[in-house]
Structure 1
Amino acid sequence: MKIWSNMPELGAYLSTRKDIQHADLPSLPTIASMVRWVRGLSETDLLLVNTDATLTLRLAAASIIAQAKLPLVSLDCLLGLPPTTAMARLATYLKKILLARVDHFLLPQRDTQGLERLFHLNGRTSYFPFKVNAWQALQSGDLTVVDEGYVIHAGRTMRDIRTFIEAMRITKLPTVLLYQDQDTGREHGTSWTLSALPENVVAVKHNGDPRSYQEYLARARVIVVAIESHVVTSAGISTILDGIGMGKCVVATDCPAVRGVFTDEIAVVPANDSTALGATVLKLFQDEHERDELAMRAHRAAGQFGGTERYLRDIVDFLSSRFGASASVSTVE
């Protein structure tokens, strides 16, 4: 088996293996060029797309046109939101047709009801635990975890910033709202206005650098992940996992990223409920004993998720067991 993927780190991980080939997915500008490329592949090849919904759909379309039978696997892909307009409903219908070509979806969420309803995945899904992105830095001591006494809300995908701001207005606690530019937010389903912020909320524009992002989380007392109520994907999971990896108190609103994945490792409140969110954050911020108990359970759970090495190993193990593996290592640039 030869795995073609958009994950350079997977190629590096497989560089010492002698039973599986890896090659980087080429950058092909048109569907026509992609069809020609797919037609030249062997049926023992496998296409793996990490997170990129557009690339997944383009490869699905090319495979349908080329009548190619090689497996296509989607990993951690945020497929979309429930449509609210006629154009969005048409786009969802077309997505559903193309996604029927995907052989399997590896998702970091157990609750797939919304995705099944929208895209008719027909059971072609497996729960695939995500990783603690900060794991290596935490294990090596390269990332320092302290408590500087503030609440933070961070992340760019489908965040409910309005509810978070109203909750913090109630608590009056020192708060950092970490955000990226409006265009990036809209691209990832998040919108907000920074006018009339309460005095206790400081908005910090962030450049998206992963290490800087982790440092902001590592200095907070409580991490909040507020997700829009209509979301059907695993939005928020990476921030939650970084938080529990740091042994922090994490408060999340109810969403697919938490249902069935966490029990008592994080605090979960109803979506769109600023009163409940504010009350929970305030209690954890002020109650050191309860905060320490929650953080201890969180840190213990983080070990089950691990870091990048565990994640890559599980990817290879799944693909090998599901689709078979043979041949020798060959990484193509």
Structure 2
Amino acid sequence: MGNLIKNELMKIFRRPGTYVMIGLLIFVISVAGIIIKSQESKGSVPDNAEWKQALIIQNQEFEKQLDEMGDAISRDQKAYFDKEIKMNEYRIENDISPNVDYSVWGFVTDASMFIELAGLFTIIVAAGIVASEFSWGTIKLLLIRPITRSKILLSKYVSVLIFGLLMISLLFSYSVGLGSILFGLPEQATPYLNYYEGKITEQNMLVHLIIFYGFKSISMVMLATMAFMISAVFRNSSLAIGLSIFLMFVGSQVTRVISMKYEWAKFSLFANTDLLQYFEGAPLVEGMTLSFSIMMLFVYLLLFHALTFGVFSKRDVAG
């Protein structure tokens, strides 16, 4: 299996398009860093010694808005106000000022927007890794080897995941390096305040960002798996790329609209790919939990792989 995966990775990195994708990712991160650096307002924050009093006043305003809105307040609005009030109270009690200079960690957080770009490149690789074998006629050379079809397919899927991990790792590490050069490290270590189920805990910023990037990459993994499935089932990379990219950009929005009227929207793939909704907001549909979303993602993975391996193993692919 190790040699099969190595062989697939060699195929991926022999293609000029792979290095174009890597170059584009580095380029857009660099441009983003230069643009943010040029905005002097991002450079530092005013020295506000009265930040505690400001947070107290802000909480009073939040509580006033909650009283005024009454029963008309939406679930998302209430969750937002509750989170902000508790965050402000925690900062006051533990002397953690919200006024921090923009540093490498702020840039790494902003650069997370490019995870979708890394996901797009991973989808392109996933969509072509099986379909291209048919279009080039090399699938027959693979099947005459004394290796099961399942192992061949699994090695390709694992190679796609490794490529996606490499792209995310490149995004993260390059952002850290560039951010350190342009914005420097923070003078004083400030923890990230993690909010979950009404409780606040402190988290190291580096650990938080690694977890944050991991959560943000879940959608990439699921869509790449879908593209891989379409590529194996229909032998069509264009269909796999087009459908996966379309769903990447509109899937969440359509699911959110449906969730406003129908509770069954919680069973949609795109209602569950964003696990950050349980830490930095409210679930898309009331009653959803972190364990429910993890279970749904597992079910979708099983479904995608059942179709992929089932069709590929039984179809006359050599014909």
**Alignment TM-score, normalising by the size of structure 2:** 0.29
More strand by percentage: 1
More helix by percentage: 2
